[in-house]
Amino acid sequence: MTLKSLSDDKPVGVIGAGNFGSAVANLLAPQRKVLLYARDESVIERISNSGENRGHRMHPNIEPVSDMAHVAQSCDIIFPIVPSAHFRSMMKHLSNYLHPYHLLIHGTKGFDIQLPAGQTLTSVKTLDRNHVKTMSEVIREESVVVRVGCLAGPNLSKELAAGQPAATVIASPFNEVIQIGKRLLRNDRFQVYGNNDLVGVELAGVLKNVIAIAAGALSGMGYGENAKGLLISRGMVEMVYLGRALGGNTKAFLGVAGVGDLVTTCNSSLSRNFNVGYRLAKGETLRDILSSTDEIAEGINTVQIAKKCAEHYNVRAPITTTLYKVLFEDLTVKQALDYLMRYPLHVDIDFL
C-alpha cells in the first residue's frame, strides 16, 4: 500500500482508553475519524453519553468501541497504548485480525519479560536481552505486522489535554512510518520529530521512569534544585550505559525522547512515577501506593528489570540498584540518598 492509501481514507485506531490513549486519540481526531478501543463497557458508555473520559473532553470525531476485530478491519493504522503488563496478551488477541499491510505505532513505555520456566521476576537472579523485550519486539513476535514504530517523548497527558505546547518522537526503521505519524499527529501546538533508532528510543522512554521515581523521592525529602540537577545528569549517564548494553544507540538518549522526557518527568507532579517516589519519601509503603491508584507506574517493574539487566551485563547503575533496595527491601529513602552522595564516582561524562 502507498502512503496515500494508508493515510487518507480509513479511520485510525487507538487501542487503550487510559489517560495517554485518550490524549493520543484527541490529537488524531482533528485529522481523521478515530476508533478508540476500550475493554470496559462503562468507559464506552461514558464517552458515548458525556463525551468525557478521565478528565479528557473527547473530540466528536472519536468513536468508542469494544470490538477489537472491528478496529483492525476498519483501520490500517493502529496506535496500541496499553500497559506493558497487558501488552503481549493484547497483541495475541489483536494479531488474529492483523495483516502485513497494517501499520502499528505503540505508545507504551515499559518492558515485556519472558522468564525461564519456574522463575518469577522476584526469584530470577539476572536478566539478559533474550528475556527482555520492547513493545515493538512484542508486536513483531506476536503478529505479521512489519511496519512498526513507537511514540515517545515528554507527553504528560493532562498537559496534552489542555492544549499546551509539547513534542514527541516517532521512531521507526521505516521512514514511511515516521512520515505518517508526523502527518497524523502534528499541529500548531504539538511538534513531531523522527528517529530511525526504534529500540534506542523505546529504551530511553522506559529507563527514564526509574530516574523519575528517584526525582520524586528527592522532592519528597525537601531537597532543592542542585540535588535534582545532580540526579538528572547522573541518571542520564546511567540510562545511556544500560541502554547501550540492551542494544540502543547513545544518540537516542540525547534527544526529545531521552533527555527531554527525563527532564519533564523528573520535574512534574503529573508524572505517575514521580509521585511514587514522592509518596515513598513521605513515608508511605509501596503496597499502600499501589492499592490507592488505578493507574500503572511503569517505573516500578522497570526498576526490577533494569537492576537485574545491569547485573547481568556488569553495568554500573547505582541509582537503579539503590532504588531497588528502597522499593523491594528495607532501605529508607534517606539512607538511599545518603549512600548515593557517598558513591565513589569521579568522572563526569565518559560515554562520548
Q: At 248, is the pLDDT very low, low, confident or very high (cuts 50, 70, 90)? A: very high
Q: How many domains does the chain have?
A: 2
Say if residue 346's pLDDT is above 70.
no
Q: Please indicate, yes or no, whether residues 12 and 56 belong to a single structural domain of this protein.
A: yes
In a domain, 346, yes or no: no
Name the CA radius of gyration of the chain, rounded.
20
pLDDT at 350 over 80: no
178 and 282 housed in the same domain:
no
CA distances from 271 to 19, 158, 163, 237 (A): 12, 10, 17, 21
Based on the fold, state whether residues 228 and 138 are members of the same structural domain. Answer: no
- CB of 71 within 8 A of CB of 78? yes
Residues 103 and 25 in one domain: yes
Q: Which domain holds residue 268?
A: 200-341
- In terms of domains, do 285 and 215 share one? yes
Whether 349 is covered by a domain: the verdict is no
CB 273 within 8 A of CB 229: no
Is 168 found in the same domain as 210?
A: no
Residue 143 belongs to a domain: yes
174-183: per-residue pLDDT in tens?
999 999 999 9
Do 90 and 172 have their domain in common? Answer: yes
Residues 37/17, Cβ–Cβ less than 8 Å: yes
> In this structure, are 186 and 47 located in the same domain?
yes
In terms of pTM, does the model score above 0.85? yes
Quick: pLDDT tens for 30-59. Answer: 999 999 999 999 999 999 999 999 888 999
CATH code, domain with 133: 3.40.50.720
| Residue 93 resides in a domain | yes
Query: Do 242 and 165 share a structural domain?
Result: no
147 contacts 177 by C-beta, under 8 angstroms: yes
- Is 347 a member of any domain? no
Task: Kindly state whether residues 231 and 161 are assigned to the same domain.
Answer: no
Whether residue 112 is contained in a domain is answered as yes
* pLDDT tens column, 99-113: 999 999 999 999 999
Q: Do 142 and 288 fall within a single domain?
A: no
SS3 at position 85: helix
Last residue of a domain, one of 176, 196, 216: 196
| Helix ranges, the chain (H) | 3-8, 19-28, 41-50, 68-74, 84-94, 135-142, 157-161, 175-185, 198-220, 225-245, 261-265, 272-281, 286-291, 299-312, 318-328, 333-341
Of 103, 90, 200, 208, nearest to 147 (Cα)?
103
Active site residues: 208
